[in-house]
Structures are given as C-alpha cells and as structure tokens.
C-alpha cells in the first residue's frame, strides 16, 4: 500500500475553479493520477458548458399535470374499493361467525376462522393497492420493509410443524398479529401512515 495522500475530489474541484490550496497545487504537479483526475474534471465542465441552453416549453405543465391527476384519482378509487370490500367482508364475517353455545375448542376455532378471514380481507385490500407498482418515499419504504419482515416472521411461526394442534391459542394470536401487520401495510401503501423524519 502507498502512503501517498492524494487530493480529494473537493480539493481537485477547488483547484479546477482556481481556489485550491498550495499543497493541492504542488501535489497535482507531482502526482500523475491527481493531474489526470483534475484534467477529467476540467473536461467535464467544458462539455457541460458546451451544451445548448434549453428553455422548457410553456405548455408542458398541462401535459404533466393532467395524467398525474388522473393517476391520483384512480389510485384513490382503487384504495377506496379495496377498503370498502375489506370492511364489508369483516362485517359479514363478524355477523356470520357467532356460535350459540360455544365450547372452548369451538370458540378458538371460530376466533381462528374470523381472524383468518380478516387477514384475507387485508391481503385483498393490499393487493388492490398494487404495492409492487409504486415507489414509496424513504420513511414509508423503510416502514414497509420492516412490516414485510415482521410478516415473514409471523408466517414462519405459523408454518412450524405441530403448532396448529399443540397451541391453538398461539395460532389465533399469530393470525391476529398477521392481520394487524397487513392492516399497517395497507395504511402505508394507501398513504395514510404518518412518518417522523429525523
């Protein structure tokens, strides 16, 4: 390894602009690598200056704004339809799944059926938002990735052999967690979640 300290990009840019330090000037005169990099930076600036000045057309905004408004309306409609379908399904499930004189096993099974249907409704709502086709802002993307990781952990726990028979209450709890995570993902992709920026 070489102990020679080369000029940083900032130092080379300062030299290019006529503001560099005496050390940087002396180093560039002695170092072929830094001299080549300085030459490259000067060439880039020359090429950029040679580009023709462009003035955007005045009527371009309408060509951008109209499709953007249409897309926003369509997105709102899709999210509203998905959420309405999920709400109807949840209400129907709540009304339809109520045993008269439940036993503990029947109660657990009914609760499991209910939370599984809610989870399916949340999955349908998330699918209606088509999260694969849209980019999320930084904080939302981070939250979505964390939620997806949590969802994978819950799914892995649900797929462990023997869990369904040995721990039915644990299975119900895992399905509740899964539904909650999916609901949060729907909120993130529908743009209703609020993110603190640091």
pLDDT in tens, 82-97: 777 777 777 777 766 6
Between CA 107 and CA 97 the distance in angstroms is 10
pLDDT above 90 covers a percentage of the chain that reads 0
Separation in Å, CA 186 to CA 41, 64, 125, 153, 180: 47, 28, 7, 18, 10
Between CA 84 and CA 100 the distance in angstroms is 29
Contacts for 100 with CB less than 8 Å, ≥ 6 apart = none
Contacts for 193 with CB less than 8 Å, ≥ 6 apart = 140, 143, 184, 187
Between CA 17 and CA 138 the distance in angstroms is 35
Between CA 111 and CA 169 the distance in angstroms is 9
Q: Please give the DSSP secondary-structure letter assigned to residue 134.
A: S
Q: How do residues 10-58 score in pLDDT, each as one tens digit?
A: 888 888 888 888 888 888 888 888 888 888 888 888 888 888 887 777 7
pLDDT at position 5, please? 81
Tokens 């993110």, residue located: 195
Which of 152, 112, 134 lies closest to 188 in space, CA to CA? Answer: 134
Between CA 164 and CA 131 the distance in angstroms is 31
Which of the four pLDDT bands, split at 50, 70 and 90, describes residue 110? Answer: confident
């Amino acid at each position: 390894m070489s102990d020679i300290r080369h000029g940083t990009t900032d130092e080379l840019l300062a030299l290019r602009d006529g503001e560099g330090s005496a050390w940087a000037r002396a180093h560039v005169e002695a170092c072929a690598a830094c001299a080549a990099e300085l030459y490259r930076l000067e060439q880039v600036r020359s090429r950029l200056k040679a580009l023709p000045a462009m003035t955007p057309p005045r009527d371009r905004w309408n060509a951008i704004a109209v499709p953007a408004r249409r897309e926003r309306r369509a997105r709102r409609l899709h999210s509203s339809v998905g959420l309405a379908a999920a709400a109807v399904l949840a209400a129907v499930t709540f009304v339809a799944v109520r045993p008269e004189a439940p036993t503990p096993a029947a109660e657990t099974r009914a609760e499991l059926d209910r939370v599984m249907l809610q989870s399916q409704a949340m999955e349908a709502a998330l699918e209606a938002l088509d999260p694969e086709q849209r980019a999320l802002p930084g904080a939302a993307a981070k939250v979505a990735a964390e939620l997806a990781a949590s969802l994978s952990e819950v799914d892995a726990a649900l797929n462990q052999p023997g869990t369904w028979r040995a721990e039915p209450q644990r299975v119900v709890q895992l399905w509740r967690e899964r539904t909650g995570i999916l609901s949060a993902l729907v909120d993130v992709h529908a743009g209703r979640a609020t993110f603190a920026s640091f």
